[in-house]
Structure formats: C-alpha cells, structure tokens
C-alpha cells in the first residue's frame, strides 16, 4: 500500500458517502488505472492519475520548475505566500499582483497547462524546501484535468495535494480556491460538482475554501465576459482584479 493510498484512506471515512467513493480505495485506484490505460490506448494520450505526482517533460515546464526550486531555496526568508496553479495563476496581471501580493512577499508558482498531478510533483520535488516557512498558500488547480479525468478523481487529487502541503508545512494555512466557471454550461456544471466536493476540506481554521463562481458566471451559457478572454477560460486584467477583490477579505484574514 502506497503512502498516497494511506493518505486518501485517512481522509475518506468522514466523507465516504458524499464523495461517492468505494470504501476500498485500492479497488477504485486499480479501476481508474485500468480505464486510464484503455483511454490512452484508444486516443494515444497518457493521462496520469491526479493523486499520483507526475512531472512534465517540456523544457518550459522544467525551466520554470527549476526556477521555483531555486527561489524557494535562495529567497526563503522573503516568501510569506505561495500561489500554486496553472496558466490562470501564471498569468496574473502585473499591476494587480504588484498591488495586492508583492507587498506581502508572494511567490507565483503557476505553470501553464499544469494539472493537479503536476503541481503535486512540483511540491514534492523541491518547491517546498526545508528552510521555507510561508504563512499561507493559495491553490487553484484542476481545470486542465477536465479533459482526462472524472470529477471525483480531480477532487481526490486536490485532497492529496492539500494533505501533502499540510504534512510538509504544518504551520502554513491553505486557501483552496474552486475551479472557475469555464467554456460553457456543461463544463461549468462539472467545476461546480468538483468544488462541492473539495469545499468539505474547509475546517474553518487552517484550510479554507473559496468559490468565486457567482462573480464570473450568471447561469446557462452566460458568463461575465468582460472578465474572460475569448476562450472563456483565461482571464483579462479585469478578471484578475475581480479575483483579487473577491479573495482579499479571506486572504487578509488568513494571512493575519
């Protein structure tokens, strides 16, 4: 039994019914591996499982990951907050980020196209060092998993990521953000389902959850289009400002 199995099993009892997961996680995990193999064989695409750390092989990712590792190692004393995520996190509007987050010592560890398993790998492979002591991290990850994983798998990946960070940095608080509405009504319904599951990780103290859906989406196929670029996935400068404004009260409260 792997460490990941034990971690997930530890979290499952209280939420087993609401998560809809087989009590024997090893059976569930084996089934998901089987389906992943079939999917990869059919479409010639290999998707790892969100709760199993996986590196990427493209040079851009490798270079950014190594940059983050060096930053954690060399600038540890000045890092009070870390943002982990994908392109939406990486793409923070400079003016807004500089206004809200640079003054409090924030490191942006977002990498475009990352899935949950990639962030989990990065956390375990040096972005969290022994000498780093951030007060808070902000996590928003999972939208890139929608094309290759079901909602429960994506939620489980977030669960393992949060647990991993709690074990590695027990004094750090975690602000877990819901996946933002995206693309159309169908995909937004999936993000809402995932968010409903991972919201249960909120313990009111060290782990908090924030869903910003109502600020970006009005129902049906009606999005706050001024906040999105044309793909209805990435954010405009106005979208980043909205993110900062909505998150700021809870962010400041947790930072202390």
CATH number where 146 lies: 3.40.50.1110
Token pair, residue 51, equals 């709760």
Contact (Cβ atoms closer than 8 angstroms) between residue 128 and residue 72 = yes
Relative to beta strand 222-223, strand 217-219 is antiparallel
What's the pLDDT tens digit per position in 18-29?
343 333 334 344
Number of domains observed in the structure of the chain: 1
Helix (H) or strand (E) holding 218: strand 217-219
Work out the average pLDDT over 32-41: 40
> Looking at the predicted structure, is the pLDDT value of residue 53 above 70?
yes
**Residues in a beta bridge with 235:** 228
Q: For the chain, what percent of residues have pLDDT higher than 70?
A: 82
* pLDDT mean over 101-115: 98
8 against 64, higher pLDDT: 64
Query: What are the backbone angles phi and psi of residue 91, rounded to the nearest 5°?
Result: -85, 15
The answer to whether 124 and 53 are in contact (CB under 8 A) is yes
pLDDT > 60? residue 31: no
Query: Among candidates 111, 140, 145, 106, which has minimal Cα distance to 125?
Result: 111
Residue 38 falls inside a structural domain? no
Confidence grade of residue 46 (pLDDT, cut at 50, 70, 90)? low
Q: Which two tokens stand for residue 228?
A: 């999105």
For 2, how many CA atoms within 13 A lie in the half-sphere containing its CB? 11
Q: What's the pLDDT score for residue 18?
A: 38
Q: Which of 41-50, 191-200, 228-237 has the lowest mean pLDDT?
A: 41-50
pLDDT score for 136: 98
Is 40 among the domain residues?
Answer: no
Is the model more confident about 53 or about 9? 53
Inter-residue contact 119 to 84 (CB < 8 Å):
yes
In a domain, 212, yes or no: yes
Which residue has 């990712």 as its token pair? 61
Provide the pLDDT for residue 23: 36
Nearest-10 crossing angle of helices 185-198, 151-168: 40
Is residue 5 included in any domain, yes or no? Answer: no
pLDDT tops 70 at residue 221: yes
* pLDDT mean across residues, the chain: 87
Residue at 16 is within a domain: no
pLDDT bucket at 48, cuts 50 / 70 / 90:
confident
pLDDT digits (tens, 9 = 90+) for 121-149: 999 999 999 999 999 999 999 999 999 99
In this model, does residue 152 exceed pLDDT 70?
Answer: yes
Instruction: Check: CB of residue 154 under 8 Å from CB of residue 146.
Output: yes
Q: Is residue 22 part of a domain?
A: no
Question: How far does CA 206 lie from the centroid of its chain?
Answer: 16
Q: How far apart are CA 207 and CA 167, in angstroms?
A: 13
| Residue 246 domain-assigned (yes or no) | yes
Give dist(CA 13, CA 19) in Å, integer: 10
Structure tokens that stand for 113 in this block? 């196209």
Domain for residue 27, yes or no?
A: no
Structural domain boundaries enclosing 74: 46-255
Judged by average pLDDT, the poorest of 4-8, 133-137, 173-177 is 4-8
What pLDDT, on the 0 to 100 scale, is given for residue 93?
Answer: 86
Q: How far apart are CA 20 and CA 147, in angstroms?
A: 20
92 in Cβ contact with 67 (< 8 Å): no
């Amino acid at each position: 039994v792997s460490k990941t199995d034990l971690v997930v099993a530890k979290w499952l009892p209280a939420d087993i019914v609401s998560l809809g997961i087989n009590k024997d996680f090893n059976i569930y995990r084996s089934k998901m591996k089987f389906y992943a193999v079939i999917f990869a064989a059919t479409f010639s695409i290999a998707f790892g499982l969100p709760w199993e750390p996986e590196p990427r092989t493209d040079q851009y990712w490798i270079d950014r990951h190594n940059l983050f590792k060096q930053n954690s190692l060399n600038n540890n004393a000045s890092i009070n907050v870390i943002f982990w995520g994908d392109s939406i996190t990486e793409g923070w509007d400079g003016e807004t980020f500089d206004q809200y987050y640079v003054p409090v010592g924030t490191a942006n560890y977002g990498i475009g196209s990352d899935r949950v398993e990639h962030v989990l790998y990065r956390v375990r492979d040096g972005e969290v060092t022994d000498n780093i002591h951030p007060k808070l991290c902000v996590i928003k990850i999972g939208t890139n998993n929608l094309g290759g994983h079901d909602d429960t798998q994506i939620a489980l990946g977030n669960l393992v990521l949060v647990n991993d960070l709690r074990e590695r940095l027990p004094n750090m608080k975690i602000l877990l953000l819901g996946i933002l509405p995206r693309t159309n009504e169908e995909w937004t319904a999936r993000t809402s389902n995932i968010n409903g599951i991972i919201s249960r990780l909120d313990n009111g103290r060290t782990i908090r959850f924030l869903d910003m859906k109502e600020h970006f989406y009005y129902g049906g196929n009606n999005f706050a289009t001024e906040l999105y670029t044309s793909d209805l996935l990435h954010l405009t400068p106005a979208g980043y400002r909205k993110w900062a404004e909505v998150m700021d009260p809870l962010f400041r409260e947790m930072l202390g």
